[in-house]
Structure 1
Amino acid sequence: MKYEKIKSILLTVLVALSIFLTWNLWTYQPEYDVIESTEAFDVSIGDERKELELIQPYKVFYHDEEQITGSPNEKEIDKVLEQMSSWRLTDAKDISSQYSQSEIENLVHSPGRIELVFPDSLPLSSYNKVIKFDEENLPRTTFNRLIFDLDGKKGDKGIVYFVLYGEEDRKYVVECKVDEEKMDSFQTMFVQRALYNENFRNYFAFKANSRKTLLLPVKDGDYYSIKFSTELLEAADFLEALFKKPVNVRKNSTDLEEIYKDSSSLMKVNTNVNSLSFVNPGVDPDRNMSEELLVQNSIAFVNGHGGWTDNFKLFSVSPEESKIEYRMFLENFPVFSDTAGTTEITQIWGTDTIHKYQRPYFKLENDYSMFSKPNKVRIPSGYTVQQALEENKMINLEFVEDIAIGYKLTRDMNFPDRLLYDLTPSWYYKYSGNWLRLPLEELEGL
């Protein structure tokens, strides 16, 4: 009897010990250092930006009777936007039903057109803060081309079109009118530069697929690989800007990252590739957020902590994912990297609050090329790019959405004691929503 009693007590102790150990395992958290902070304060990590600086085209073309000229030059595009800033567009009207896909193609690429190309589709209402419209309630459409019809006149008014071009399941055409004198003045200024200025090159039309014609340069071009020094940003600034109560945040460090967390939010600083990620796990992405609200919220959010540290521009809007991306630009060419979060500011939004925020943890400082000889890079012509894409059996041209020159950002490990990056020009193509590099070494034999 005594033996049975001892056995029962021992079994009870073992069960209790097992429950205790299981509970400790489930509730274990690594040791976090308490962040010494007593109150939140206003933070300005970099700069605030206006819509005009962030929502911009990245190519401009002139369609003449005999040739197509174009330029990605930022100064040329700024001249167009500056002249438009004095315009007031009137009589905005959705005339999408009047156009088939093929007719939209003719509208965009016919002679007598100036074409501004945007990296992705944008809500027309968001552009109301960039250019003046008379109407308060604009058509609820999106666009990726701004077309100036130099030959079309309606009475004493010039015609401008906002067009969604090249998408499989959507098409939009919004017609607007502008004072004829302003259009004539704009035409005189622009056409002369497009035909005779060295910033413009000759382009040809590449019918990439059944939906879209892409414009590519006729000749090779010389560009330079550029080396930049960088400045790391301060984790404390993001801590104060992103967490509701910084005093409750705890820190844990590993060899590759710093982790900051409170009861509802988590921020990771990847010290290996110098990117930052902030997430509210309890906030679900808002799949019903409009493109207009996505643009508005994203700009206000980054402006709230002065988070524009380099030349970023709106590059991708995906309302079905409640996701928006602002990409780093250099000399008006997009900058890409093999590592997510090093060349783009990405946001995913929940209802009225941010779900995820990913961005570079550094900013470009000084052009370091003065300390080393610049490396000239010959970029092949558009004909070479066309041939490479057509001959690649792994590429279905129906999914090629855009082609552009961009810079690839890579860390220069020849200077391990300094944070230096090389930005090397190359061809890129947008394939099923993703931008991929077309390696120059594969184009040399073509």
Structure 2
Amino acid sequence: MGVKHVEQIKAFVLLFLVLLSLVLTFLIWTYTPDYQTIEEAQGENKKISTDKEKELDQVINPYRMLVHENQNLSGTVESAQIDKVISALSQLNATEPTSSRRNISEDYFNKMINSGNRMTLFYPDEVPINTFRSILNFPENVQLNNVSFSHLIIDYSQTGKLKLYFLSEKNRTLYTMNAAMGARLFAQSFSEVIQNTVRYIEVQREGEFSLYLPENPVELWEYHYYMDEIPLESFEEALFKNPNIVQKNIENETSTNYNDESAIMEVDTKRKTIKYAYPDAEGIHAINRSDLIQDSLDFLNNHGGLTGDYRYAYSNPEGRIIKYQLFFQDLPVFSGITSTRISMEWGEYQIFRYERPYFKFGVSVETFQRQLPAGSEIVDNLSSLENVDEILVGYSLEKHPEKRIYILKPSWFVIKDGVGIPIPTETLGGTADGLE
């Protein structure tokens, strides 16, 4: 190779190195780290379970549906039947909601339920009408941020036409919508559901809202379960921003604390519950109810916190508090030995307090058929119906006295301020047949 060609190659290599140096210098000067991605990764909640995420219409559920038709009352608590009605509503287009009445009396409220051919969906607490947009289609041009309801009455007295009444027990308001429903959809949903209801009775109370109970004895199953526990380390990783600096302190045989410089998680291993607090996030301003519900559901979904059939039960926008109740076989679960609710209190842009159980039902080992007394028998044996919010059937979660299993025992409950108080029925004629 000649000297001339060697010099040309040297010059080309030198030029290439100079250009490469310029490019690398430019990349270094213009490089900006993706701080947003880093921040999101640090604050991202890890899953504590593999349970599927849930939509609003899967956690905001009526706990009862009542049917008034031809002067007869019937009802159901089965979600399979109630979901058919909800599904039918989701296929409709409704008119703009209009305010029909305010300062509703208890008597007027009761007459609304017990008139014409109507279905009533009972919700455990106020549901924002804006949140109900996830189910029912109606015009979006009107914002009703402060309008909520506790009972949805569906009047189907006129063929092909529905009248929807949104009643609020707390606010004593009534809003109305109209919607058209074809005969085929009505037959496939409403008519079929009505055929699968059982007889109910109305318990009237002077100056108070009526109570509604099954007319005949209730047949249910008692379940015996082993309990699974969600590993506490999963909550540690999901709730703390930097689990590597969290300190674990065993206070005694039933109490363990996890904490870092800004948050603390208290664990009660006997009750199988946790209490998480982030004091710096404390908030003082009220929050919109629909935002409170959506943000809380997002929070639970983000870390897989819906580890059972938890349903919306209570909200307090002024206090930024929301609660979810554990259900089993479409009935609420109450317990004196542990908590069966998820409770959240929001601060400024994030959770301030978070309390919940960390158990979930594992393997069923035994079942027994039980019969609970009729609703009328329950009412006749109560000394007073004052200050009673509701009377309903649910499950009492109890610990077996000898075995390492838990019992889901069907029971009647009086509900006062969201607390389920079991009604003793041993002397009221209930029977029990053991079927393993």
TM bin (shorter chain): 0.7 to 0.9
State the secondary structure of the residue aligned to 2:389: strand
2: CA distance between counterparts of 1:236 and 1:267?
11
Paired residue for 2:148, among 142, 148, 171? 142
| 1:414 lines up with 2:402 in the alignment | yes
1: CA distance between counterparts of 2:238 and 2:274?
13
Aligned partner of 2:168: which letter?
A: L
CA positional deviation for 1:142: 1.2
Matching residue of 2:48: 45
Paired residue for 2:307, among 287, 293, 309? 309
Matching residue of 1:59: 64
Q: Are the equivalent residues in 1 in contact too, given 2:94–2:179 (CA < 8 A)?
A: yes
Matching residue of 2:219: 222
2: CA distance between counterparts of 1:366 and 1:189?
36
| 1:290 lines up with 2:294 in the alignment | no
2: CA distance between counterparts of 1:332 and 1:40?
35
Q: Are the equivalent residues in 2 in contact too, given 1:93–1:176 (CA < 8 A)?
A: yes
CA positional deviation for 1:52: 1.2
1: CA distance between counterparts of 2:55 and 2:156?
29
1:343-358 matches, cutoff 5 A: 343-358=340-355
Deviating beyond 6 angstroms after TM superposition, the runs of 4 or more aligned structure 1 residues are: 38-41
**Residues 318/439 of structure 1: CA separation in 2 closer, same or farther (3 Å cut):** farther
2: CA distance between counterparts of 1:444 and 1:276?
39
2: CA distance between counterparts of 1:263 and 1:151?
62
Aligned partner of 2:253: which letter?
A: D
Q: Are the equivalent residues in 1 in contact too, given 2:219–2:371 (CA < 8 A)?
A: yes
Matching residue of 1:400: 388
Q: Are the equivalent residues in 1 in contact too, given 2:107–2:209 (CA < 8 A)?
A: no
1:167-316 matches, cutoff 5 A: 167=170, 170-181=171-182, 184-190=183-189, 192-197=191-196, 200-253=197-250, 254-284=252-282, 286=284, 288-316=286-314
CA positional deviation for 1:319: 2.8
**Residues 58/304 of structure 1: CA separation in 2 closer, same or farther (3 Å cut):** same
Aligned partner of 2:274: which letter?
A: L
Structure 1 unaligned residues grouped into runs of 5+: 1-37
| 1:386 lines up with 2:396 in the alignment | no
After superposition, the C-alpha distances for 1:185-219 in whole angstroms (9 at most, x for unaligned) are 4443455435543xx21111101352311111111
CA positional deviation for 1:298: 1.0
Paired residue for 2:419, among 434, 440, 443? 434
2: CA distance between counterparts of 1:269 and 1:409?
20
Aligned partner of 2:192: which letter?
A: R
**Residues 209/233 of structure 1: CA separation in 2 closer, same or farther (3 Å cut):** farther
Q: Are the equivalent residues in 2 in contact too, given 1:121–1:142 (CA < 8 A)?
A: yes
Aligned partner of 1:161: which letter?
A: Y
1: CA distance between counterparts of 2:81 and 2:194?
13
State the secondary structure of the residue aligned to 2:270: coil
1: CA distance between counterparts of 2:173 and 2:198?
29
Paired residue for 1:376, among 369, 378, 381? 369
Query: Structure 1 stretch 313-322 or stretch 64-73: which is displaced more?
Result: 313-322
Matching residue of 2:164: 160
Matching residue of 1:337: 335
Query: Structure 1 stretch 304-313 or stretch 282-291: which is displaced more?
Result: 282-291
CA positional deviation for 1:339: 3.7
2: CA distance between counterparts of 1:438 and 1:209?
23
2: CA distance between counterparts of 1:131 and 1:276?
37
1:124-139 matches, cutoff 5 A: 124-139=129-144
Q: Are the equivalent residues in 1 in contact too, given 2:337–2:398 (CA < 8 A)?
A: no
Provide TM-score, normalisation by structure 2: 0.82
Structure 2 unaligned residues grouped into runs of 5+: 1-40, 431-436
**Residues 277/123 of structure 1: CA separation in 2 closer, same or farther (3 Å cut):** same
Aligned partner of 1:430: which letter?
A: I
State the secondary structure of the residue aligned to 1:60: strand
Bigger Rg over Cα: 2
Number of positions where the alignment pairs a residue of Structure 1 with one of Structure 2? 386
Aligned partner of 2:199: which letter?
A: N
After superposition, the C-alpha distances for 1:5-27 in whole angstroms (9 at most, x for unaligned) are xxxxxxxxxxxxxxxxxxxxxxx
**Residues 146/185 of structure 1: CA separation in 2 closer, same or farther (3 Å cut):** farther
CA positional deviation for 1:179: 2.0
Q: Are the equivalent residues in 2 in contact too, given 1:285–1:348 (CA < 8 A)?
A: no
1: CA distance between counterparts of 2:297 and 2:44?
20
| 1:115 lines up with 2:124 in the alignment | no
State the secondary structure of the residue aligned to 2:386: helix
Provide TM-score, normalisation by structure 1: 0.80
**Residues 40/122 of structure 1: CA separation in 2 closer, same or farther (3 Å cut):** closer
CA positional deviation for 1:180: 3.8
Aligned partner of 2:411: which letter?
A: S
Aligned partner of 1:150: which letter?
A: Y
CA positional deviation for 1:313: 0.7
1: CA distance between counterparts of 2:71 and 2:425?
31
State the secondary structure of the residue aligned to 1:114: strand
